[in-house]
Amino acid sequence: MRRPFALVGFTYLLAQVAAVFLGLPWALPIACVLLFLMGVSLMIPRLRMGIFPVALCAASLAFGGFAALAPAVTLPGEELNDREASFVGTLEEAPYRSYDNRYCTIRLESLDEEPVDFRVRLLVPENLVGEAGTCLKGKAHFYLPRGGDGFSSRNYYASQGISVCAYLYGYEPYQVIPPASKSFWHHIQDLRISLGEAVDFLLPEEEAGLLKGVLLGDKSGISPELTADFRTVGLSHVMAVSGLHMTTVANLLTAIFLALHVPRRGRAVLASLGVLLFMAVVDFAPSASRSGIMCLLYLAGGFLSRRSDSLNSLGLAVWILCLVSPFAGADVGLLLSFSATLGLILCSGPICRRLDACVSSWKYGRRLFHAIHVVLATSISATLFTFPAMMLTFRTVSVVGLFANLLALWPTTLLLQFGLGAAVLQLLLPGTLAALPLALPAGWLAKYLCTVVSLLAQIPYANIPLSMGFVLLWVAAVLFLLAFWLFMGHSKNSLRIVGWLSCILLLAGVFSYQISRRNLTRIAITDVGSGLSVAITRNGNAVVIGCEGYSAQAIKEELQGQGIRSLDAMLLFSHFGEEAHNASDVLETFSTEKLIVPSGYMDDFLQTRVDCIGEVYSYQNWARLALGEAFTVELVPGAALLEANGATMLFCSADMQVEVLPKTWRSPDFVVLTQAVEGVAGEYTILSMDEGEVQEAARGRRNVAVTAGRGTVVVELTDEQTCRIRRDA
């Protein structure tokens, strides 16, 4: 077998991704089935000496490892969900800002005076100041991140070793104890902070935020709008610290040591130390670890006078990461980085050679066209291979993805090189102009990327939403075709057929999905704890009802997943407090033609978004909104009634009083509740609340669906007056 690590590593990663999607109950049975199939393959002479027994064994180990190790990661979160407890922990990093909130990761040492040892993502107050190694004591409310199986927030945090989130109570005292001494790891964190501060000093806010995202994987300085635009145009992978970063660091260090006449083996050792240091600076993110291991293997080949194999190195790197973490397959950055690297290894060279052959007879300009071909081949390879991961993660197809990669590839590479050099020089020579020659082009490149991405994202239908069911079927079909190609002898002609069949299946799925969504009213009750945050979409139009809950992120992800760029209307039950804050967060990304709020003074959060609002309407006792002939929404204090496609749906907020409801509203087809309510009954009941409140609210009701940390509940209504209720986990 030429490349055993490639076969084992790739199979293990794919199987682990499947295990994450299917969930823990399926992992052990599938592992046993795969083990049985491996035994069968060993009994068939034609398969015994091939790749199938090894691949089946690796897949069985992946599912079995997930079944054995995943509970250790998830159990602390499940036990602590919706609990309050006093804690003592150590900050692993300084607090950072994300979506107008401040967070930090802490390692708990005790919980209610009982010793523990696991990591928590903690929401902290604005005035809490600390650094890595700081001891924090206080009382917090613990809760599970949103979602269930698949690429949910819960599994993403599990891939980072975080099984539970928490927030400090504002009215409870907390204690911050500075570290008596700093460990090596804390010095590394200080170096990361210093690099970020150097970038902030050298560049304007927007350009500095983008450079920190590209250089360090720190997205806290990137606006939600720009993050959404990068996702829309298919460039999210440039935010994952990956092979481009490690190659830049390794090549830069090698060039410096070569100029200093360091011997070859010495250069390899010193460059390896530099790569390890950079991996530590970016917090050993899975995508950075994958590319770092590949770089170390390559440098080890130079030290041992051996030539490394790229596919084997990539397979070994991802296998090590998957063995370390049972949830590595849930890390989007790792999957995007792995996919892009695999595409470059397999396709970039052949595509470039094929393009070069087209101009080989030219007397002049061959070198220029070779440079163009390299960019084109790299962009095509990265785009094609990151395509499945992007679809699985964001459930959209970026129509402008290839063009965006062509425009962004070399500018991103140069931005990384200039930005890294400028940040290092600023740290080494502060108060001088040494970093300025590198900072200026880095700023221009960052501005260029922001402008290009924003312009491409504004193109109509720049990305097209897809159903998760079709995405999974398409990925499974492509994997089956590739397995069949391998079984049939992997000839070039059959590979071409596999490629065309994959494209035909994708196009058929995209167009059929779009056709099936015509005149379909989609009502998404997002999973935001105890509160209402509902997105209604139809034929590209969108209305938001309520922005309650602990965060606006869920409603924003729902709108982005449906390809929405702006809202027709936003209807709020309150104009102050938490709902106003969340609404302001939504309006930062999606402008609205109409904002309908109760009468009274609007909160300062909403006042700051007046430029994103077309018209503001206030109501005292009743209001009505009609979106053409598609649907109508009526509002009374604390409640809203939707009429669409012959069905009625009543939304009851936490402040709703049954007495204010018209009698004709009290028996709708669907009722959505945020608390236990008497006197209102529907054929179907949807509970938008935390898990601990479900049992009481569901008592005596039939056909009940709940959010409760399990994901968004979606109701789809057609003009033929048919209905489908499902979970969008």
What is the tens place of the pLDDT at every residue in 134-149? 888 888 888 887 666 6
Tens digits of residue pLDDT in 318-338: 888 888 888 888 887 778 778
- Residue 531 CA: distances (Å) to CA of 50, 557, 570: 56, 17, 16
- Across the strands, what pairs with 560? none
Task: Note the pLDDT of residue 149.
Answer: 63
Angular region, 645: left φ>0, alpha ψ -120 to 50, beta rest = left
DSSP structural state of residue 150 = S
- Give the best-scoring range by mean pLDDT among 53-67, 300-314, 537-551, 654-668: 53-67
Tens digits of residue pLDDT in 650-691: 888 877 778 778 888 888 888 888 888 888 888 888 888 877
pLDDT band at 722 (very low <50, low <70, confident <90, very high): confident
Q: Give the tokens for residue 194.
A: 């210093």
Task: Note the pLDDT of residue 12.
Answer: 92
pLDDT band at 62 (very low <50, low <70, confident <90, very high): very high
Closest CA to 341 of 393, 403, 300, 289: 289
Asked which of 92-101, 350-359, 539-548 is least confident by mean pLDDT, the reply is 92-101
- Residue 331 CA: distances (Å) to CA of 152, 228, 325, 560: 10, 18, 10, 20
Tens digits of residue pLDDT in 376-385: 777 777 777 8
Mode of pairing for the β-strands spanning 684-687 and 670-673: parallel
pLDDT band at 241 (very low <50, low <70, confident <90, very high): low
The CATH superfamily holding the domain 521-728 is Ribonuclease Z/Hydroxyacylglutathione hydrolase-like (3.60.15.10)
Kindly state the helix (H) or strand (E) to which residue 536 belongs, with its residue range. strand 534-538
Bigger pLDDT: 379 or 205?
A: 205
Span 8-32, average pLDDT: 89
| Residue that the structure tokens 């350009």 belong to | 207
Task: Note the pLDDT of residue 64.
Answer: 92
Task: Note the pLDDT of residue 75.
Answer: 85
Inform me whether the pLDDT recorded for 454 exceeds 60. Answer: yes
Asked which of 271-275, 286-290, 713-717 is least confident by mean pLDDT, the reply is 286-290
Q: Long-range contacts made by residues 629-633, C-beta under 8 angstroms, separation at least 24? A: 630/521, 630/538, 630/539, 630/541, 631/521, 631/536, 631/538, 633/543, 633/545, 633/571
Buried b (16+ CB within 10 A) or exposed e, 504-534: ebbeebbeebeeebeeebbbbbbbbbbbbbb
Phi and psi at residue 625, in whole multiples of 5°? -125, 130
Sheet holding 623-627, edge to edge: 623-627, 631-636, 639-644, 647-652, 670-673, 684-687, 704-706
Length of the chain: 729
Asked which of 13-22, 62-71, 73-82, 286-295 is least confident by mean pLDDT, the reply is 286-295
> Is CATH 2.40.50.140 the right assignment for the domain spanning 81-181?
yes
User: Strands (DSSP E) along 354-399, which ranges?
Assistant: 396-398
Percentage of the chain exceeding pLDDT 70: 92
Percentage of the chain exceeding pLDDT 90: 4
Bigger pLDDT: 449 or 96?
A: 449
Q: How far is residue 656's CA from residue 197's CA, in Å, rounded to a whole number?
A: 48
Task: Note the pLDDT of residue 304.
Answer: 58
Span 173-189, average pLDDT: 78
Asked which of 32-36, 220-224, 434-438, 566-570 is least confident by mean pLDDT, the reply is 220-224
pLDDT band at 490 (very low <50, low <70, confident <90, very high): low
Do the beta carbons of residue 600 and residue 575 sit within 8 Å? yes
